[in-house]
Chains A and B, each alone.
Chain A
Protein backbone atom coordinates (compact mmCIF):
# COMPACT_ATOMS: atom_id res chain seq x y z
CA UNK A 1 0.00 0.00 0.00
CA UNK A 2 1.39 3.38 -1.02
CA UNK A 3 2.08 5.81 1.82
CA UNK A 4 2.99 9.45 1.33
CA UNK A 5 4.67 11.58 3.98
CA UNK A 6 5.23 15.31 3.93
CA UNK A 7 7.77 17.14 6.04
CA UNK A 8 7.52 19.58 7.71
CA UNK A 9 3.86 19.62 8.74
CA UNK A 10 4.03 23.38 9.17
CA UNK A 11 6.49 26.06 8.17
CA UNK A 12 6.64 29.79 8.89
CA UNK A 13 9.10 31.99 7.01
CA UNK A 14 9.67 35.69 6.42
CA UNK A 15 8.80 37.12 3.05
CA UNK A 16 11.51 36.74 0.42
CA UNK A 17 12.96 33.47 1.64
CA UNK A 18 13.55 30.51 -0.63
CA UNK A 19 12.09 27.33 0.82
CA UNK A 20 11.83 23.60 0.22
CA UNK A 21 8.91 21.31 0.98
CA UNK A 22 9.56 17.58 1.12
CA UNK A 23 7.48 14.62 0.07
CA UNK A 24 8.38 10.94 0.36
CA UNK A 25 6.54 7.83 -0.83
CA UNK A 26 7.01 4.16 -0.07
CA UNK A 27 6.31 2.49 -3.44
CA UNK A 28 8.51 3.72 -6.30
CA UNK A 29 6.24 2.20 -8.98
CA UNK A 30 4.41 5.45 -9.61
CA UNK A 31 2.76 6.87 -12.73
CA UNK A 32 3.16 10.48 -11.76
CA UNK A 33 3.44 12.91 -8.85
CA UNK A 34 1.37 16.03 -8.47
CA UNK A 35 1.76 19.03 -6.18
CA UNK A 36 -1.35 20.96 -5.16
CA UNK A 37 -2.10 24.12 -3.24
CA UNK A 38 -5.13 24.38 -0.95
CA UNK A 39 -6.38 27.58 0.63
CA UNK A 40 -8.50 27.30 3.81
CA UNK A 41 -11.95 25.89 3.09
CA UNK A 42 -11.25 25.64 -0.62
CA UNK A 43 -10.59 22.95 -3.19
CA UNK A 44 -7.22 21.91 -4.61
CA UNK A 45 -5.32 23.86 -7.24
CA UNK A 46 -2.84 21.90 -9.32
CA UNK A 47 0.63 23.44 -9.26
CA UNK A 48 2.94 20.99 -10.99
CA UNK A 49 2.71 17.51 -12.46
CA UNK A 50 5.78 15.32 -12.90
CA UNK A 51 5.53 12.14 -14.96
CA UNK A 52 7.44 9.11 -13.71
CA UNK A 53 9.97 9.48 -16.54
CA UNK A 54 10.72 13.11 -15.68
CA UNK A 55 13.09 14.54 -13.12
CA UNK A 56 11.64 18.01 -12.60
CA UNK A 57 9.07 20.56 -13.64
CA UNK A 58 9.10 24.33 -13.31
CA UNK A 59 6.37 26.95 -13.25
CA UNK A 60 7.30 30.52 -12.40
CA UNK A 61 8.81 30.60 -8.92
CA UNK A 62 8.01 26.92 -8.35
CA UNK A 63 10.25 23.97 -9.13
CA UNK A 64 9.41 20.38 -8.33
CA UNK A 65 11.86 17.50 -8.54
CA UNK A 66 11.31 13.77 -8.52
CA UNK A 67 13.68 10.97 -7.53
CA UNK A 68 11.74 7.76 -8.02
CA UNK A 69 14.48 5.44 -6.86
CA UNK A 70 14.70 7.09 -3.46
CA UNK A 71 10.96 7.76 -3.27
CA UNK A 72 11.29 11.51 -2.86
CA UNK A 73 10.05 14.76 -4.32
CA UNK A 74 10.75 18.33 -3.35
CA UNK A 75 8.87 21.53 -4.09
CA UNK A 76 11.10 24.58 -4.18
CA UNK A 77 9.51 28.00 -3.83
CA UNK A 78 11.72 30.95 -4.68
CA UNK A 79 11.36 34.43 -3.20
CA UNK A 80 8.31 33.54 -1.11
CA UNK A 81 5.43 36.01 -0.81
CA UNK A 82 2.57 36.34 1.71
CA UNK A 83 0.22 35.21 -1.04
CA UNK A 84 2.01 31.85 -1.05
CA UNK A 85 0.54 31.11 2.38
CA UNK A 86 -1.52 27.93 2.01
CA UNK A 87 -1.35 24.18 2.53
CA UNK A 88 0.74 22.34 -0.04
CA UNK A 89 -0.20 18.75 -0.80
CA UNK A 90 1.84 16.10 -2.57
CA UNK A 91 0.01 13.24 -4.30
CA UNK A 92 1.26 10.12 -6.05
CA UNK A 93 -0.58 8.40 -8.90
CA UNK A 94 -0.30 4.63 -9.26
CA UNK A 95 -1.31 4.30 -12.91
CA UNK A 96 -3.00 6.28 -15.66
CA UNK A 97 -6.50 6.02 -14.32
CA UNK A 98 -6.35 5.15 -10.68
CA UNK A 99 -6.42 6.89 -7.39
CA UNK A 100 -4.01 9.51 -6.10
CA UNK A 101 -2.52 8.90 -2.68
CA UNK A 102 -2.05 12.15 -0.79
CA UNK A 103 0.26 13.24 1.97
CA UNK A 104 -1.13 15.22 4.89
CA UNK A 105 0.26 18.46 3.57
CA UNK A 106 2.60 21.20 4.68
CA UNK A 107 0.95 24.35 6.04
CA UNK A 108 3.03 27.30 4.88
CA UNK A 109 2.84 30.79 6.37
CA UNK A 110 4.84 33.58 4.74
CA UNK A 111 5.07 36.60 7.02
CA UNK A 112 5.30 40.12 5.56
Chain B
Protein backbone atom coordinates (compact mmCIF):
# COMPACT_ATOMS: atom_id res chain seq x y z
CA UNK B 1 0.00 0.00 0.00
CA UNK B 2 1.48 3.33 -1.02
CA UNK B 3 -1.02 5.61 0.72
CA UNK B 4 -0.38 7.95 3.64
CA UNK B 5 0.40 5.93 6.75
CA UNK B 6 -0.13 7.10 10.33
CA UNK B 7 0.93 5.53 13.60
CA UNK B 8 -0.44 4.82 16.12
CA UNK B 9 -4.05 4.66 15.04
CA UNK B 10 -5.30 5.08 18.59
CA UNK B 11 -3.63 6.50 21.69
CA UNK B 12 -5.08 6.80 25.18
CA UNK B 13 -3.06 8.81 27.65
CA UNK B 14 -3.40 10.55 30.98
CA UNK B 15 -3.45 14.31 31.27
CA UNK B 16 0.03 15.73 31.52
CA UNK B 17 1.76 13.00 29.51
CA UNK B 18 3.57 13.57 26.21
CA UNK B 19 2.49 11.83 23.01
CA UNK B 20 4.02 11.56 19.56
CA UNK B 21 2.37 10.69 16.27
CA UNK B 22 4.14 9.65 13.10
CA UNK B 23 3.13 10.19 9.49
CA UNK B 24 4.66 8.60 6.42
CA UNK B 25 3.49 10.43 3.29
CA UNK B 26 3.03 8.98 -0.15
CA UNK B 27 6.44 8.36 -1.67
CA UNK B 28 7.86 11.41 -3.49
CA UNK B 29 5.22 13.75 -2.12
CA UNK B 30 7.13 16.85 -1.08
CA UNK B 31 4.29 18.48 0.81
CA UNK B 32 2.99 17.25 4.13
CA UNK B 33 0.15 18.62 6.24
CA UNK B 34 -1.22 18.05 9.74
CA UNK B 35 -4.87 18.65 10.58
CA UNK B 36 -6.89 18.17 13.75
CA UNK B 37 -10.51 17.05 13.80
CA UNK B 38 -12.80 17.06 16.82
CA UNK B 39 -16.07 15.15 16.94
CA UNK B 40 -18.71 16.52 14.61
CA UNK B 41 -16.43 19.17 13.12
CA UNK B 42 -14.45 19.48 9.93
CA UNK B 43 -10.66 19.15 10.07
CA UNK B 44 -8.67 22.25 11.07
CA UNK B 45 -5.26 23.04 9.66
CA UNK B 46 -2.30 22.79 12.04
CA UNK B 47 0.87 22.98 9.98
CA UNK B 48 2.46 22.42 6.55
CA UNK B 49 5.89 21.26 5.39
CA UNK B 50 7.52 21.50 2.02
CA UNK B 51 10.33 18.97 2.15
CA UNK B 52 11.94 19.55 5.56
CA UNK B 53 10.90 23.20 5.85
CA UNK B 54 7.92 24.04 8.02
CA UNK B 55 6.34 26.83 6.00
CA UNK B 56 3.11 27.55 7.82
CA UNK B 57 1.72 27.06 11.32
CA UNK B 58 -1.77 27.71 12.60
CA UNK B 59 -2.45 29.61 15.79
CA UNK B 60 -4.03 26.34 16.95
CA UNK B 61 -0.51 24.97 17.23
CA UNK B 62 0.26 26.11 20.76
CA UNK B 63 3.70 25.97 22.39
CA UNK B 64 2.91 22.46 23.58
CA UNK B 65 2.75 21.23 20.00
CA UNK B 66 5.78 20.65 17.82
CA UNK B 67 6.04 19.10 14.39
CA UNK B 68 9.15 18.00 12.55
CA UNK B 69 10.10 16.55 9.21
CA UNK B 70 13.85 16.20 9.60
CA UNK B 71 14.77 14.51 6.32
CA UNK B 72 11.85 15.62 4.23
CA UNK B 73 10.23 12.20 4.39
CA UNK B 74 8.22 11.13 7.46
CA UNK B 75 6.94 13.65 9.98
CA UNK B 76 6.24 13.58 13.70
CA UNK B 77 3.75 15.60 15.71
CA UNK B 78 4.46 15.79 19.44
CA UNK B 79 2.09 17.10 22.07
CA UNK B 80 3.63 17.87 25.44
CA UNK B 81 1.72 18.00 28.73
CA UNK B 82 -1.49 16.82 27.12
CA UNK B 83 -4.82 18.33 28.17
CA UNK B 84 -8.31 16.90 27.81
CA UNK B 85 -8.99 19.48 25.10
CA UNK B 86 -6.32 17.83 22.96
CA UNK B 87 -8.56 14.79 22.50
CA UNK B 88 -9.17 14.64 18.75
CA UNK B 89 -8.31 12.86 15.53
CA UNK B 90 -4.97 14.00 14.14
CA UNK B 91 -4.89 13.69 10.37
CA UNK B 92 -1.89 13.77 8.09
CA UNK B 93 -2.05 14.51 4.37
CA UNK B 94 0.45 14.79 1.54
CA UNK B 95 0.58 16.17 -1.97
CA UNK B 96 3.18 16.31 -4.73
CA UNK B 97 5.05 19.39 -5.93
CA UNK B 98 5.35 18.46 -9.58
CA UNK B 99 2.10 18.93 -11.46
CA UNK B 100 0.55 20.06 -8.23
CA UNK B 101 -3.20 20.42 -8.46
CA UNK B 102 -3.52 21.07 -4.77
CA UNK B 103 -5.19 17.70 -4.22
CA UNK B 104 -4.51 16.34 -0.77
CA UNK B 105 -4.33 12.65 0.11
CA UNK B 106 -5.16 11.85 3.73
CA UNK B 107 -4.16 9.03 6.02
CA UNK B 108 -6.48 7.14 8.36
CA UNK B 109 -5.67 9.42 11.25
CA UNK B 110 -4.42 8.99 14.81
CA UNK B 111 -7.13 9.24 17.43
CA UNK B 112 -6.01 10.70 20.77
CA UNK B 113 -7.99 10.34 23.97
CA UNK B 114 -6.72 12.25 27.00
CA UNK B 115 -8.17 11.06 30.30
With A43-B91, A97-B48, A99-B48 already in contact, the answer to whether A31 and B102 are too (CB < 8 A) is yes
A4 to B109, CA, bound (A): 22
Judge whether B44 and A44 touch: CB under 8 Å. no
Q: Is the interface of A mostly helix, strand, loop or mixed?
A: strand
Does A41 lie at the interface of the complex (its beta carbon under 8 Å from any beta carbon of B)? yes
Interface size on B, residues (CB 8 A): 29
Pick 28 A–B contacts, CB within 8 A, sort by A: A32-B103, A34-B102, A34-B103, A43-B4, A43-B6, A44-B43, A44-B91, A44-B93, A44-B106, A46-B103, A46-B104, A46-B105, A46-B106, A49-B102, A51-B101, A91-B43, A93-B102, A96-B100, A97-B50, A97-B102, A98-B48, A98-B56, A99-B58, A100-B45, A103-B42, A104-B41, A104-B42, A105-B42
Supply 19 further A-B pairs (C-beta < 8 A) apart from A51-B102, A101-B45: A4-B42, A31-B102, A32-B101, A32-B102, A34-B104, A36-B106, A41-B111, A42-B109, A43-B109, A44-B43, A44-B93, A49-B103, A89-B43, A96-B100, A97-B31, A97-B100, A98-B56, A100-B45, A104-B42
